[in-house]
């Protein structure tokens, strides 16, 4: 039973989030500004914080910085601002993830679950289990011996081509592969205009391992150049 601290100055949003999270089996603590959130986090053990950025008094950014002083619990920021600069600022001061308003409830649940898994069960174990055939990045774990892939502990079933693409990308995190290169290496064939096939496969792969395929965390599209595995 995880306790999730919700903080937003809009009471309706707080109670909606409360309904979704409680229905998923989480315990929630509802707060309505930064000061209250900090106080609640001190008073009781909290496993995850869902916090709005724009709040009167202490805003989400400052509250995050304050929380980070003595805790590394996962913090997900909710923001109505979709400016890139705001996202970068939030992540830089120690937030683990962000969700832009208006959000999709399913996405919120997925992100909460992902963060909790990584924080509680996988946080320490991923490194221990790293064997000679095991590749990990963030919440992704690929065991080449068993040919199995898990994301945040959840097993994911991939087609052989998808598996090989993921393997290629995981082996070279941060490197950009063009569609032609991926085709040659995975299909073991010279590419003759079949590159959009690669793009389709990668999209399918993304849909399986990303929470929000439209803004992926792991497999990033470098437009005009190719694809890469973001090193997390």
Binding site for other proteins (CB under 8 A): 10, 12-13, 16-17, 19-20, 54, 80-82, 101-105, 178-179, 193, 195-196, 198-203, 221-227
* All residues at 6 or more sequence positions from 150 whose CB lies less than 8 Å from its CB, including other chains: 140, 141, 156
Closest distance of CB 66 from other proteins, Å? 23
Which DSSP letter does residue 98 get? Answer: E
Q: Minimal distance in Å, beta carbon 113 to other proteins?
A: 18
Query: Shortest approach of other proteins to residue 84 CB, angstroms?
Result: 9
Q: Which is nearer to other proteins, 146 or 192 (CB)?
A: 192
Residues 6+ positions from 127 with CB-CB distance below 8 Å: 136
Query: Please, which residue, 101 or 175, has the CB nearer to other proteins?
Result: 101
Least separation, in Å, of the C-beta of 83 and other proteins? 8
Distance of alpha carbon 7 from the chain centroid: 20
Least distance between other proteins and beta carbon 217 (Å): 16
Nearest residue (CB) to other proteins, 2 versus 177: 177
- Please report, for residues 9, 100, 106, the alpha-carbon distance to residue 32 in angstroms, rounded to integers and kept in the order given: 5, 18, 23
Q: Which is nearer to other proteins, 45 or 224 (CB)?
A: 224
Complex with other proteins: residue 163 or 183, whichever CB lies closer? 183
């Amino acid at each position: 039973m995880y306790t999730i601290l919700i903080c937003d100055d809009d009471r309706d949003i707080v109670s909606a989030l409360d309904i979704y999270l409680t229905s998923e089996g989480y315990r929630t603590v509802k707060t309505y500004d930064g000061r209250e959130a900090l106080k609640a986090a001190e008073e009781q053990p909290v496993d995850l914080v869902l916090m709005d950025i724009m709040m009167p008094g202490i805003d989400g950014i400052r509250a995050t910085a304050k929380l980070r002083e003595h805790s590394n619990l996962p913090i997900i920021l909710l923001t109505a601002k979709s400016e890139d600069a705001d996202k970068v600022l939030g992540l830089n001061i120690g937030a683990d993830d962000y969700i832009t308003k208006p959000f999709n409830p399913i996405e919120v649940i997925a992100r909460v679950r992902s963060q909790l898994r990584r924080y509680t069960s996988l946080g320490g174990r991923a490194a221990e289990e790293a064997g000679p055939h095991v590749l990990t990045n963030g919440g992704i774990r690929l065991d080449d011996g068993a040919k199995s892939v898990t994301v945040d502990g959840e097993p994911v079933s991939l087609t052989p081509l998808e598996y090989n693409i993921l393997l290629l990308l995981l082996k070279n995190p941060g490197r950009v592969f063009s569609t032609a290169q991926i085709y040659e290496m995975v299909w073991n064939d010279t590419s003759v205009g079949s590159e959009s096939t690669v793009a389709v496969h990668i999209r399918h792969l993304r849909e399986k391992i990303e929470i929000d395929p439209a803004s992926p965390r792991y497999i990033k599209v470098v437009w005009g150049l190719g694809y890469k595995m973001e090193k997390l």
